[in-house]
Structure formats: structure tokens, C-alpha cells
Amino acid sequence: MWGKIKRKKYYLIMLAICVIPRIILSSQALPFRTRADEVGTLAGTAYLAGFDWSDLVGETAYYGFGATILFTPLFYIFSNPILIYKLMIGVWGILQAMVGCIAWKLGRKYFRIEQEQNLMFLSIIASYTVVTRNTALFNETPIIVVMWLLIWCLLELLNCEFDYHKKRMITVIFTLILIYSLTLHTRTLIFWLSAAVIQIVYLVTKKRTLFSMRIFLILGIPGYLCVKKLVDILQDIIWLADKKTGLPNTQIAVNGIELIFFPESWQAWLNIIIGQLNTFSLVTGTVVLVGCVWICREYLRVIKNRFRIDAKKVSYFYVLSFAACCFLGTILGQSISEWLGYAVEGMKNGMDNQAYGLKVFTYIRYAGPYLGVIIWGILSYIIKYREDIMNIKTATIVTCFVTHIYWIVCILPYIYHNQVTNEAYLPFGFINNLEDSTRLRTYLAGTIVIIFSVIFFWNMISRKKTKYFLGFYMCFLIYQYCYDGYYQDIMQMKQSFSEVENTYAALQILDRKNELPANILICDSKNSSHQTSYVYQFCFFDKKIITLSDINDKKMSYDKGIIVVNSVEMADLLKQRGYEVYTINSDTEEYLATNTEDIEKILIKANYSVLK
């Protein structure tokens, strides 16, 4: 047994490093990191479990349902919502760790990486090259896993071009994964577009198809149409149950494309593209630019060589082509979406402003799921063909510094005090976004990291110290993941939950006494979008939370005993209307109003004082 463990030691070390930090972070999770987004992500789960979250779900956006519906049994097995949330976050962590296992398998089988130390480093790097941690219920985590499964199928197809039976079988699997991806988010259409691009490139270079086109079309077209119809039906039933219109994220909107024809929009458009590339360059230590420059050079060589690809580069070429198409296509798509309009309006406010629309200059969440494959692919290539990568050293350094100089001159003056554009830069300035204000230091720390990364990367590669670089790079990514996971996610969760914690405890007392009504009214006068109502809805998942804009809201007619408010002014108004108002916590301004005698007796017995 010990001999077997010794033989697998690098694999087991990789697994431990991929899993343990995520489990530790998961153990500290509280609902929620991003309230509206996460409730929107769980909307399908709540509907399948038979809960009525309709008053809140209609205020969120569409975030898919294909992965989170698998959490439905948890709501039947457990009654503790905090435990359920920790378990869901833990599953997200396991899925991200699973990427390391997939990368190990693919690196050994297809890229012929024999040294297990290198395999270990590459697998851990693949697992941690993400921009959304497992510490939030974002649908990017299952999208990341789907991306890696598609890469696995792509490599299988490249290695069975004359085995037609296997080719047909892998095409079926590849197509089914594409169809399933449509249930995760509207953005996964980029997988279909990238698959079409790869098919065309393969046809041009090999004079034959990569997939079995007959199976792809016969299975893919009906599958796409059926899932699209299913998504439309569920959106109407779940997200639009109260007949509201304008549900975000239901289609790929390029309604910013008309702005491209106006010169005043050109800088904002360029700022989105270069701003995101520079931010990705920072979080990957400039390695993503090495991958992008390499794939551009290879396409130029393919054209120059009359559409022939060097046999030793075929796997790398198509893997990086697919990933780059997803990655760059998403950035380009975002640059001509409604975000362009937001950016144009934000820039009209002048230098150094707080406009939310400027967030898109550094908003790397959308293209993030495809980043890991690019980093893993180019580093695998460097291990095998270090000499060849040195040929793009100058081009990569020039690209990096031109991108960064543009960032400093044309983008930074607009955002250096903006509190919503700084997420990717926080780990390098040791900034806690909840306590520290954004300032020039926040962003200039990124400049130091980029300069150091360029020097360190090329110095290590030129001196044949690739293994040392991989070890350092692994630590660089894990540090970012853990820093962001704690200071951006866990700290945000704790602050979010602290706003409802005391009232949650009071409502639990009523629930245990079977006095908690089916409808609970919440009036949050402090938060305009990510309201405390979302946390209450998850914590009392089998009840219906009714949100009130104020105490004159027509939905006051739902009142059957309890109204929760978070301002003393609102509490005074309810008292004037005849409600008995109890102070749950005066420091956080948590108050509970009731007109039911049984509830009053329970609250008095629990030592909650009446508001004077």
C-alpha cells in the first residue's frame, strides 16, 4: 500500500493542494457574497424544491440552472441554511479542484509530459487559474469544468482522426456537453461559436472535418432548439412568474455595436479591450499574453506555409485556438455589448470618477472561465519546446508594455479612486476593499507586479529554470486565490450576514414555536439592489419573502404578522400605524414589527425590548 502511495505521491500532493485551501474557505462561508446574483443562480433549485421565491427572483437576472438544480436534495435533507450554503460552496470547490485531475490526465496522455513534478505544478496551476473562487455561487465554476471537458474531447478527436467509430462516439459526447452548457448561462454560446471556428480551421488545414458533421448536425441542431425552448419556458415560469419583463442575461446583447460608428465611443471601446487584457496580464503574471502572441504567430505561420501545421504542434495549436477563441471572443463581445454604453457614459463624467460603468475596464469575470486552458496549454508547450518560445520573447514583451502603457495613460486617470474597478488589483496592494479606500497605490502595485513578472518569466525560461518558475507561479496563483477568497469573498459574506444575523436568530425562535407566518415582509431602506431580503429568503427557504419599497407599498396587504425593517425611522412609522415594534439590535438598526399577540409574547419572553 505504501509503495502505491509513494508512486502516486505527486498526484496526491496535487490533489491535496487543490482541495484543502478551498475546503478551509468553504468552512467559513456565510450567505451571501453577492446577494441578488446568488439567489438568481439558485432560482431553479428553489422552484424544483417547491419553494416560492417569486417576489425576489423576478428582481434578479438569469444565471442558468443546469448545475445548481443538483443541489435540490440538500434542501430536503438539511434544515440549516448555513450548512446547506457551506456544502454548496464546498461542492464548487471540489469541481474546481477536479480541473487539476483533468489537467494531469491530459498533460500526461496528450502532451507527453513525463516528469511528475512538472505535471503536479501544471495541474495545480490549471486548477487555480480562475478569477471567480469557489467562495460564491457563481455559475462560472461549472462553466470552467465544461470548458475542460470540451478540451478533453477535442484532444481525443485530434488523436482519432482515422478511427471513425471512436470519432463518432466522441462527437456525440462533445455535442451533448455543448447542449448541456446552454443550461448554465447564455454566455456559453461562445462554446458553439468556437467549435465552429475550430471546425473551419481544421477543414482548411487538414482538408477533412474534425467532428463527424452528420452526428454534430443531427444531434446538435435539435438539441440546441430543445434546450433553448426549455430555457425560455423556465424563464417564464420561474424568473418572470409575476409577469415582469426585461429579464437580464437572456440573450447575447450586442446593442452597443451601433456606438462603434461614433468616434466619441472609440476610446471607451478600446479601453474595454486593452483594460481587460492588461488586467488578465496582471493576474496571470503576463503568461496569458505569451499564449496569445504564440497563437497569433502560429496562425501567421500556417498562412505562410500554405495552411500546413507543424505536426508536433497540432495538439497545442487546436487547444490554444479553441481557448483563445472563447477568451478573446468573450472580451470582444463584451466590448460591443451594453457595457460599451455604460463605459461611454462613465467617461463623460471626466477623470477620476466613481461611475459604475467603468467597471468593465477591469471586469474579467466573463472571460475568466477560459483562462486556465490558455495558461496550462502554453506552459505545457514551454516545457517541451523551450527554445521555440524564446523566438516570441521580443514580441511578447513589446505587447505587454504597449498594453500597460496604454493602461496607465488612457485608463488609469479615470478610475484610480473608483471602488468597483479594483478587484483584480487588491492582492498586490494588500488592500481590504471593505476597509481601505481605492487610491493610486492600489493600481501602481499592479505595475510593479507586471514589470517583475516579465523580467522573472523570461529570465527563468532563458536560463532553463522552467521547473523553478512553475513552482513560483503556482504559489503566485494560490496566493491570489486565497487572498481574494478571504478578503473579497469571506469578509464580504460576514459583513452581509451581520446585517441580518440578529433578526435571523429572532425569526428562528418564532419558527421553532411554529409562529413564523408563511409570508415575511422585509423593508430594506439601506440597500438599493443587493438587499437583505435575498439573505432572508435563503435562510427561510420554505417561506415566501415579500419585499417592500416602503411601508406604503401595496404589498403591505400580505401582512400576516411580521415586518422586518432596518432603519429607526421606518420602525417609528410602523409604531405610529399601530404595530408593536421590537428592537432586535440597535447598533445595526434591526427591528421587527408585529400586530400578532402570540408573536409579541414570544419576543418579550426572548428578552427583546419594545421600541420606545
Which stretches of 6-109 are assigned E, i.e. beta strand?
none
φ/ψ of residue 587, rounded to 5: -65, -40
Residues 610, 612: Cα–Cα separation, whole Å: 6
Average pLDDT over residues 139-144: 96
Q: State pLDDT tens for residues 428-456.
A: 988 777 667 777 778 889 999 999 999 99
Structure confidence at residue 541 as a pLDDT band (50, 70, 90): very high
What pLDDT was estimated at residue 391?
Answer: 96
CB under 8 A, 24+ apart: contacts of 231-236: 231/182, 231/183, 234/44, 234/47, 234/65, 235/62
Write out the residue limits of the CATH 3.40.190 domain(s) in the chain: 499-610
Q: State pLDDT tens for residues 191-200.
A: 999 999 999 9
Q: State pLDDT tens for residues 331-342.
A: 999 999 989 999
Q: Please report, for residues 48, 149, 181, the alpha-carbon distance to residue 211 in angstroms, rounded to integers and kept in the order given.
A: 36, 15, 18
What pLDDT was estimated at residue 525?
Answer: 80
Average pLDDT over residues 84-101: 97
Average pLDDT over residues 61-82: 94
What pLDDT was estimated at residue 181?
Answer: 97
Q: Please report, for residues 1, 48, 208, 539, 559, the alpha-carbon distance to residue 52 in angstroms, rounded to integers and kept in the order given.
A: 52, 10, 52, 13, 16
* pTM summary value: 0.95
Q: CB of 581 within 8 A of CB of 551? A: no
Q: CB of 206 within 8 A of CB of 269? A: no
Position 257 pLDDT exceeds 90: no
Q: State pLDDT tens for residues 350-365.
A: 998 889 999 999 999 9
Judged by average pLDDT, the poorest of 47-51, 170-174, 247-251, 518-522 is 247-251
Mean pLDDT for the chain overall: 92
Structure confidence at residue 549 as a pLDDT band (50, 70, 90): confident
In sequence order, what are the beta bridge partners of 565?
Answer: 523, 591
What pLDDT was estimated at residue 7?
Answer: 74
What pLDDT was estimated at residue 524?
Answer: 87
Position 373 pLDDT exceeds 80: yes
Average pLDDT over residues 259-273: 91
The SS3 assignment for 172 reads: helix
Position 38 pLDDT exceeds 90: yes
Structure confidence at residue 559 as a pLDDT band (50, 70, 90): low
How is 81-132 classified by DSSP, letter by letter?
A: HHHHHHHHHHHHHHHHHHHHHHHHHHHHHTS----HHHHHHHHHHHHH--SS
What pLDDT was estimated at residue 2?
Answer: 64
Q: State pLDDT tens for residues 567-587.
A: 888 899 888 888 899 999 888
- Per CATH, domain 499-610 is 3.40.50: no
Position 269 pLDDT exceeds 70: yes
Structure confidence at residue 419 as a pLDDT band (50, 70, 90): confident
The grid cell for 67 is 448545475
Residues 74, 384: Cα–Cα separation, whole Å: 46
Angle among Cα 432, 469, 456 to the nearest 5 degrees reads: 75
Q: CB of 446 within 8 A of CB of 282? A: yes
For the chain, the distance separating the N- and C-terminal CA atoms, rounded to the nearest angstrom, is: 71
Angle among Cα 164, 170, 174 to the nearest 5 degrees reads: 140
Residues 363, 357: Cα–Cα separation, whole Å: 10
What pLDDT was estimated at residue 244?
Answer: 55
Q: What DSSP state is assigned to residue 265?
A: G
In sequence order, what are the beta bridge partners of 521?
Answer: 546, 563
64's torsion region: left (phi>0), alpha (psi -120 to 50) or beta?
Answer: left
Position 557 pLDDT exceeds 70: no
Q: State pLDDT tens for residues 151-192.
A: 999 999 999 888 889 999 999 999 999 999 999 999 999 999
Q: How many residues does the chain have?
A: 612
What pLDDT was estimated at residue 162?
Answer: 82
Position 491 pLDDT exceeds 80: yes
351 burial via Cβ count (<10 Å: 0-12, 13-18, 19+): exposed
What pLDDT was estimated at residue 552?
Answer: 75
Structure confidence at residue 246 as a pLDDT band (50, 70, 90): low
What pLDDT was estimated at residue 434?
Answer: 66
Q: What DSSP state is assigned to residue 405?
A: H
What pLDDT was estimated at residue 258?
Answer: 81
Q: Please report, for residues 31, 48, 145, the alpha-carbon distance to residue 72 in angstroms, rounded to integers and kept in the order given.
A: 17, 7, 20
Question: If we measure between CA atoms, which residue out of 92, 121, 113, 19 comes closest to residue 475?
Answer: 121
The grid cell for 599 is 408573536
What pLDDT was estimated at residue 560?
Answer: 66
Above pLDDT 90, what percent of the chain?
A: 75
Average pLDDT over residues 291-309: 94
What pLDDT was estimated at residue 611?
Answer: 84
Position 83 pLDDT exceeds 70: yes
Residues 245, 247: Cα–Cα separation, whole Å: 6
φ/ψ of residue 585, rounded to 5: -155, 115
Residues 255, 269: Cα–Cα separation, whole Å: 13
Question: If we measure between CA atoms, which residue out of 230, 245, 237 comes closest to residue 53?
Answer: 237
Question: If we measure between CA atoms, which residue out of 245, 243, 189 comes closest to residue 220?
Answer: 189
